[in-house]
Amino acid sequence: MAGTQTRIHSDPNVPPDLRAYAGEWVVLQDGAVVEHGTELKAIVDKARSRGIQRPRVLFVEGRDREAVKLGL
């Protein structure tokens, strides 16, 4: 529907538009993507090297014209 927005999630700590990261893992802190990539261990290690002890990690599923799906 034109002019209609669908909210995919309700967590205020997850940025509303993660399409640029489709097919990648992302580390979030304070509502912002601080690391991203296709190798989970690599981004977790990078986040920890930045002082993030317990990284919040999400996988952004492939592109869909209307939605970005998140997998935990």
- Which tens digits make up the pLDDT trace of 21-52? 888 999 998 888 999 999 999 999 999 999 99
Any domain includes 65 = yes
Any domain includes 54 = yes
Any domain includes 3 = no
Q: Residue 15, by phi and psi: left (phi above 0), alpha (psi -120 to 50) or beta?
A: beta
Any domain includes 1 = no
Any domain includes 6 = no
Any domain includes 44 = yes
How many domains is the chain partitioned into structurally? 1
Strands (E), 7-69: 24-29, 32-37, 56-60
pLDDT at residue 19 in the model: 79
Report whether pLDDT(60) > 50: yes
Any domain includes 49 = yes
Percent of the chain beyond pLDDT 70?
62
Residue 57 C-beta-side C-alpha neighbours within 13 Å: 19
